[in-house]
Chain A
């Protein structure tokens, strides 16, 4: 293939990137320098560093971290067991199936399940624990978010586990490593790329969750996503909304750099 035709094939891809990735980011950055009345200002950035938004940022990160950590804890063993089952594809399908249902429908279903007179509370009452407030608590928020994100965590880990050469595990066992050591020294390091992409696929959307905060947490949990939604749709303070978005983009870029570097190193090492 000649150089010029290669460049020609690049055009649609470049056009796509410029139109739908670069341009929107530039626009977001541009809007962040204007106040409600359309005057140029740096005030939005100053406002972001006030306690209100700082607290919001911290709590967004905290909840996103919690959601990611719990998803990982649940997803790793699940993915591992999946690779050991007979009808792998069927089980995998069953796990992915819920993600075909619209997010809002699932959220509404949980309102019914977690309500004061819902199934969960009837169950709790039947076994003698008694009614609890489940809906509109931190617990329900994290639980539902984990439920929604978990397929995105299981899939990459499952793929990494599938790609791993099982003879390496046998070798480790033959050489006298305990099950735990085998996991810690062989299986986990070999699947860490899957864990990383799973964490990214969960952490980043979790950082900007917004519908769930209202439907399941009753606005008791306010994330940056909620604030962006409010500023664009209610306040029409696009500047402030864009400023928060800029910080989210920066945070995500930082995350990618942090987790991406080592992977590149690993690839290079393999080439050698």
Chain B
């Protein structure tokens, strides 16, 4: 018994010591409560060098936390508990978060660099007048493929994925909207379709794809495609550019039937404590030079037109990532379908996943 008490005392003392030490270390570096900024972002979605530069310029310590789906991020913000000062949701998540009162209004006076954003990307339907959100990156969903592994196949349409030669060669992104959207688009329906008959048709169509699907994975898809684990992948454009950066044999296309056009936007969630710092950060990221460096690092398409002119021609002139007006016209933004419809999409996606080869 005596030994037990002594052991507890030691553990307790050590824990206290550690707490004190952490506090001391933070203080000595000048990071006290209101001097930190918690950024809740997608994994690998900002150049770490820029975070360091922001810390040096402002003296604010940045804590970077990541999520891998809009839904996971929303669940966490809804529950509160953790302080997130800046987050980067996609457009349909923003309209949902706005409805649920999870976002704080932005003060445009504190964001002088806002003038650099291309007017084309301002005042979009999901957030009129950009009251709550500032565009961060945008992109498409498409097919990345390895010409050496697909023989004489070429890709122009979603339906090319159903080709028999691609047996066990396709990796899909683990996202209900993306995969169901692909099924709907392949049938030339809108990817926001809510017609039950169309959805069932899309599911039946996807079922036929099962023999070609090697796996349905998350962020690992980048690693797997770059390692030539499979010939074809359904990916977001930014992931595609990253994969192509690692393995230059691969190529990316946006199918002609149309696809998804998405925007990730910086917002200040209601959990924010350091609102001043959050504005400083957003303004910092809008600086043309910073945005250009970030674009080169992340590989997605930037909405910052001043940054565009700073980027090398092979990035800013790349039609695969900055598609022409004609193709852009056929791209659709995901609407917020409501919880019930989203649950239905997921149910269908789950059924698709359960098809055995």
Contacts and interface: CB of A to CB of B under 8 A. Distances in A.
Nearest to A238: B75
A218 B210 CA distance: 13
B346 interface: yes
A236 interface: yes
Interface stretch (A85-93, A110-118, A150-158, A178-186): A110-118
A115 to B, nearest CB: 6
A231 B343 CA distance: 8
A215 interface: yes
B231 to A, nearest CB: 11
Nearest to A59: B354
Interface string B207-236: 000000011111010011001110000000
A105 to B, nearest CB: 13
A56 interface: yes
Interface bin, chain A: 20 to 34
Interface residues of B, number: 32
A222 B229 contact: no
A236 B223 contact: no
B218 A52 contact: no
Contacts of A117: 227-229
A143 interface: no
A55 B214 CA distance: 21
A115 B226 CA distance: 12
A115 B228 CA distance: 9
B340 interface: yes
A52 B351 contact: yes
Nearest to A240: B343
Nearest to B171: A218
A115 B351 CA distance: 27
B81 to A, nearest CB: 16
Nearest to A55: B354
A135 interface: yes
Interface of B: 69, 71-72, 74-75, 168, 171, 174, 176, 214-218, 220, 223-224, 227-229, 339-340, 342-343, 346-347, 350-351, 353-354, 356-357
25 contacts: A52-B350, A52-B351, A52-B354, A56-B354, A111-B224, A115-B229, A116-B229, A133-B168, A136-B214, A214-B174, A214-B216, A214-B217, A218-B214, A218-B215, A219-B174, A219-B215, A219-B353, A220-B215, A222-B353, A222-B354, A234-B69, A235-B346, A236-B342, A236-B343, A237-B343
Interface of A: 36-37, 52, 55-56, 108, 111, 115-117, 133, 135-136, 214-215, 217-220, 222, 227, 230-237, 240
